Structure 1
Amino acid sequence: MRTVWAMCFCLCAALPARAQQTYITGTDALGLIEFSELSLNDMVEGGCWTEGERIKTKTRLMFQQKGLQVIDYKAAFYGYDVVLSELTALGVRTKAGICAVNAEFRVVTRSFSNIGTTFYNDSYTAVGMVELFSSNTLLTGAGDLDDELDRFFDRAVSEFLAKRYFARGSDSVIAFRTDNPSTGRPPMPFSDYQSFADIENGSQ
């Protein structure tokens, strides 16, 4: 009887541990971001905002100071490590001379979800943009709103970078990085991917 139990124990001990599913929340996912495109959407008229490019340059510097690398090209693939950061302002000067500007800073990435399969095991995939962070405001004033927009974007970008910093210390992100160390390699440019795809299609 003792022999039977000993054999059973040995067999059980040899079995692999049950796979564990770890979930990384949206907030903690900020800690996975390594690279970002940075775009400026300046849709302000009437001289209400004249420093869009300066704010973009300032944001780039803030990113780099916190170890978030800015890429100057469209990435071939997005994920939670490669994102798009957008500085957006839309506004006009009214007939009364008042400036009204809606400003937003947001960070988004592309998401792929398998939503089903066919009889032949082909898959259906839903593709969409996922918003990881956003902050917006509505500003008004008699003169230009350069100072107000500068303060808004500074606060919004600083808040995002602070959340990213704290997320990098979360248990789930640390565990992920332990199992999946960062390579530090910049993402493939979309232009390179397109050239490769054209070559492949031409060879068929």
Structure 2
Amino acid sequence: MKIIENKVVRMRRKNYKGEMMRGFNAIKALAVFALSGVSCFTLAQEQPVRYIGVDDSLGLLHNVHVNVFDDVDGGCWTNVDAVENRVISKLEQAGVRTYDEHLAFYNGFSALLSVSALGYRDGSSTCIGYLTYDIKKLADTEFNRANDEPFSVKVVGVIYEKGQLLSGGGNLNDRLLSQVDSWTDELIAKIYKGRRQGDVAHLIEAMQDLTEEPLTEVRFQELLEEAMSSE
């Protein structure tokens, strides 16, 4: 069990560090992009800022990049695609757009959802695994779009997190699917609850472009190259 716990910590640090670096690179690129005269959003200036906290910020989520990590050996997890499809289906039905590629910005309205499992089959043919499920946002974000009232979503890092140790004979397929199913239902409930919060509802109403597709990392790089080449 201790081996699994240590490997889980290392895996999650590696995944989180990689996504943080990706977020920082996007922020650097945005600075260059802004200097070229292209503005992605307006920062709030010289007005009292209204802050949206971690729990309520879940209500802002409209776009989610879904990433599933399978590090389970011994044939203990063979329905990875079914688990991923279940998450995507539930989020889409709840009105949250899902993507299988990196987005340019993981801000107030976009986040990274990671489902990770690490496990093995022991000497008695019992499958043992640890499942993690989390939502990350990689940038502090300020919006000045709600009737000129500045809003700030001051959260960087994990904004929703779950973990569970699982074991059993045969494989862990049913247990993994059931657990992910339950956490996704809970996440959706928190998103709906957050959207009823006053500041969140006010900001969503003011952001008319939320119906538009978010920039993917690939498309952002293309726009950046176009902007730089036109100078």
Normalising by structure 1, we get a TM-score of: 0.78
> What's the counterpart of residue 185 of structure 2?
158
CA distance in 2 between partners of 1:41 and 1:90 (Å): 8
For structure 1, the residue ranges without an aligned partner over 5 or more in a row are 1-17, 114-127
Identify the match of residue 93 of structure 1 among 121, 127, 140.
121
For residues 192 and 209 of structure 2, the distance between their equivalents in structure 1, rounded to whole angstroms, comes to: 16
Question: Which of 204, 211, 219 is matched with 1:184 structurally?
Answer: 211
1:27 is paired with a residue of what secondary structure? helix
Bigger strand fraction: 1
Distance 1:31 1:158 in 2: 14
Q: 165, 168, 173: which is aligned to 1:138?
A: 165
Q: Determine the C-alpha separation between the residues in 1 that align with 2:206 and 2:57.
A: 16
Please tell me the root mean square deviation across aligned C-alpha atoms, in Å. Answer: 2.1
1:90-149 CA-partner distances (Å, limit 9, x unpaired): 101112212110001111111248xxxxxxxxxxxxxx9511111110011122111111
Local SS of the residue matching 1:77: coil
| Match among 195, 198, 223 for residue 171 of structure 1 | 198
**How many residues get paired?**
173
Structure with the greater alpha carbon radius of gyration = 1
Q: Gapped runs of 5+ residues in structure 2?
A: 1-45, 142-154
Stretch of structure 1 that moved more, 54-63 or 188-197: 188-197
Q: Identity of aligned pairs, percent?
A: 24
Quick one: which amino acid aligns to residue 154 of structure 1?
D
Partner residue in 1 for 2:7? none
- Which residue of structure 2 lines up, in the alignment, with residue 147 of structure 1? 174
Matches within 5 A, 1:1-204: 19-112=47-140, 129-202=156-229
Paired with 1:185 and 1:103, the residues of 2 have a C-alpha distance of 33
- Structure 2 CA distance for aligned equivalents of residues 170 and 196 of structure 1: 35
Greater mean deviation of Cα atoms: 29-38 or 186-195: 186-195
Q: TM-score of the superposition, structure 2-length normalised? A: 0.69
Counterparts of 2:216 and 2:49, CA distance in 1: 32
